[in-house]
Amino acid sequence: MACPINQSALDDNYTCTCLPGFKSIYEGYNLKCEACPPLHVTSVDKRSCVPCSGSSLNDTSKTCLPCLGTSDIMVDKALNGSSLGGMVCIECANGSVPGDGACIPCHSSLYTASGGSCSCPKTHEELGGICTPLSELSKIPDKDSSYIVKFDNGKKVYSTFFMENFRMAAHSCTFNQNKSACQLLSNMCVLLHYEFDDFNACQYYREEFGDNFVTLPSHVPWLYYNEGEANVYLSKTRLKTHYSFKKESPNSKFNFTVAKYSAKGHLLKYGRLETMLTLCPIIDYQLDAAVQFGTTFSQSCSIDVKDLWDRYDTEFYDVFLQYYDDEQHMIYAVPVLDRNYREAGSLVNQQSHKKWQLTRRFFLFDNLSGRESLSLNLNDKEKRARVVRYAQSVEIIIQLREGEGDGLIYPPLIKITYAEVEDDYYESGKRVETSLKVLYTMNFSKIRENLSIAVGVMSALATLWSFIGTWSWSRRCGKIVLDFPTIFHFFVIVCGNLANVFFVVMFFACLFWTIFFKRQDVVHLFLLTENQELLVKQYLTAACFLKLIQIMYIVYVQVTLDIFIIDWEQPRAKNSVPHPQLSTSLEEEGKLKGEQPISIWRMYFIANEWNELQTYRKTNVSFQLFLTLLCLKVIGFENLATADPSASFFVHDKDYNPPQSFVCRFAISMSVYAIIAVIQWFFRVVFYERYVENKLQQFIDLCSIANISVFILEHTMYGYYIHGRSAHGFADVDMQSIYEQMKREEEDLCGHRGLEPSSECQIFEVAVTYKFREQYDTILQPVHKFTGIQRPAARGRMASLEMEQSFQAYETMRRFFGMFLQHALKDLDYIVKEKLFLESVLDLEFQEVDDRCLFFRDNNHTFDHVLFYGHELSFLLCEMLLFTFVDLTSYDFVLAAVITFIFSYLLKKIRYTGGRKNVVHKTLVDQRFLM
């Protein structure tokens, strides 16, 4: 809000005060400002108006002009508080200098050097109010590089702060061993991000005091660790505290102690990290959770860029960790990794651990070093830094010492990344983000090695299995030599098998980490950090795309396979009533001659049922996703994925809620998804299909009742045969006849439905000969050229030569299959055998097809491999991987479920449309009768 009229805000921006030329009048707690009479100014206490007795009045500023003497001060009251009748100039006595409204003693260095006066002789130089001998200052040369602050955006600023303080602080620290001066010198080095390429505060510090903290003088702050030894210091084992996840344990929290210093080098206070290290003081950061052992902490806020200049002070921090060693109370210095540190222009702290330069002290905000000396800016910019810096990200990393005992840790590490804002954005209203994180980690090299071994071994087995699958495919396709289709098929099989391997390894690894992290009483492991999770995410992303390749290939094979419907019904005697159309056309050609044509409706009915079975599955995707979201979002399984040891289904708004770990999120979501899928699968296969409805078995029974068989060639030389020849010889009868036929079967008064005498086996895997395949292709060549029966544009097109050829080809094929299956072809025959156990396990036929086709008995509905039903596991895994992929990119289960449903729906639609066209094309069924 704006201050009232005649008032302005103080420097703290929280209080309004009267403008110069107005005196303050308080009515209760309300401040009012009354204008002073002409030729009067506001008194020092602002409660009265006084004339300018010792100087003239400045009408513009409504203040008295400064005193002419350099050793004068201007006052309006005596020491006892009595009024002097106006603003009076008083000369300070010898041995004192003007201060803040009073004469104060001059610095002892001036008094000593001048022999009792407050002047600095020519053999000395006054720096920051201190009289310094020139002989000593020669060791601290006056170079521009000492005052230049280089910012990451390329700007260089001649810093007022450095010009006023560097040489003075360096001299006092070196020659007087002044601790505050040493702290000030150290702070200037911290503001330079510890860079020492040119002569500056950091280089002077290192040259004068060395870079080995062990040999530092006691009055000099510790800034640098030894170069190139970051791994050594981060693997120290001096911390003996056994930390625990149990909140009632005294070691369930870290005891971080923070020392805070002002920019001038004065110790401000000691305190706990959770009360002192606040990036956003206005926001309740709930930092108590940041020191809770095992709880991954992450909190961020946005700050108005204007506040970076106006509301924050440049302060410096040293962090220590308190611990006990044999009952002795100790503190351990926590190292800092300044990611903006440069060495020879290179950001070495963003590279390999071996190059890291660890340091000790850090700042959160810097609006001091960017204040430019000799600024030509306007008055409102004179006190404002050209560039401000702020801690964009602060990470406290805790690493577990594995194998050395429960709850032991290596020294914590504080990683800080700074960002900058130029003063052009002061009035922009822009906001910047800053964050504080506490991360827990383990030795990732060991984890990576274990995962690599698991993936490598499983991938080798998957590749070997792919070779077997490709060998089986090449035999079934009649391949003799290695060609491009064989290589492509091997690539597809490898994609699918590797996707399975990646998913299984990552799932069980994440499930292991989740269960043992959440349930461990003795701390032996942590969860993966966000950077370490990238390996898991990469494997899962690869698995998702590899599985999609396999799924697309499965759909392609299913919509391009060969299928033929064999009608066993034989023509019977012609009715006495003439057929109105056939009697004038077909009968004239002598094609029926006393035989009644066979009804096509049974074939259409079987084709419709087959068409519906093509996308039939063991699990319902909509129901699956609905129950998954219900468990994750409503019941609260999602809340178990937090990166802390506790596990709760409910989130409390008043408590700190840790961020979710992707490892836990993936393990829990996929566990829920898999359990629901298994329950669906078990219910359908064990209960529903056994006691309610089994669509595949019903289809086989329907084929037997309709007297129709189905011959499917999934590959060139391999397929399936569903024997549906009626045991009664005919099926085109009325309802009573059907009922009597079924009753005879129940009473075992007729033959069996199987292909072989006294056998009930109706399903066979078929391996055909080259001669059979050649005959098959020769007969169906007209059908392959013609896309099936379409809606005719005119009656003349219906009677075209192509249609006639297709009808003849279908009839020829029907008779060919009839004779073949009844062993009536001399050169083409088959034998029925049992598949060997190893053949069933490997899905591979060792038995060679010579001059006879092989029919392998199969009562397990193996023909479902040409349907979605036979690839349920592949489709289920693909949906799980897609669900996971969307979630890892968006962290949104609802979006993942929606995209998974859309993908499943589109895939089903593509399969249904392509399969429907394939049935029309391969069986000559009119597409208008496929519902």
What is the residue-wise DSSP string for 57-76?
EETTTTEEPPPSSTTEEEEE
Ramachandran angles phi, psi of 564, nearest 5°: -140, 135
465: how many CB neighbours lie within 10 A of its CB?
16
d(CA 527, CA 663): 7
pLDDT of residue 378: 44
DSSP code string of 200-221: SHHHHHHHHH-S-GGG--TTSP
d(CA 274, CA 258): 9
d(CA 205, CA 186): 8
Mean pLDDT, 10 residues at a time, the chain of 931 residues? 88 83 88 91 90 82 84 86 87 81 81 78 81 85 90 89 91 90 95 91 91 86 90 89 85 91 93 83 65 87 90 93 86 94 89 90 94 57 82 92 83 95 89 91 87 94 94 88 90 95 95 88 85 92 96 94 86 55 45 63 87 90 95 91 82 73 93 95 90 89 87 91 80 76 75 76 90 86 57 46 74 86 86 88 84 86 88 94 94 95 95 89 75 72
269: how many CB neighbours lie within 10 A of its CB?
10
pLDDT of residue 577: 47
pLDDT of residue 584: 45
pLDDT of residue 117: 76
pLDDT of residue 792: 44
Name the packing angle between helices 621-629 and 662-682 (round to 10°): 140
pTM, to two decimals:
0.79
pLDDT of residue 479: 85
Mean pLDDT of the chain, nearest integer: 85
828, 769 Cβ separation under 8 angstroms: yes
Closest to 335 measured CA to CA, from 213, 455, 251, 242: 213
Closest to 239 measured CA to CA, from 356, 444, 399: 399
Distance between first and last Cα of the chain: 73
Cα of 909 vs its chain's centroid, Å: 31
CA distances from 136 to 131, 139, 895 (A): 11, 6, 71
Rg of the chain in Å (alpha carbons) = 45
Closest to 726 measured CA to CA, from 566, 502, 525, 535: 566
Closest to 499 measured CA to CA, from 464, 460, 554, 550: 550
Ramachandran angles phi, psi of 431, nearest 5°: -120, 145
CA distances from 719 to 210, 568, 711 (A): 82, 20, 8
pLDDT of residue 759: 79
d(CA 670, CA 667): 5
pLDDT per residue as tens digits for the range 531-547:
889 999 999 999 999 99
- Residue with structure tokens 């190059």? 355
Closest to 391 measured CA to CA, from 423, 415, 361, 417: 417
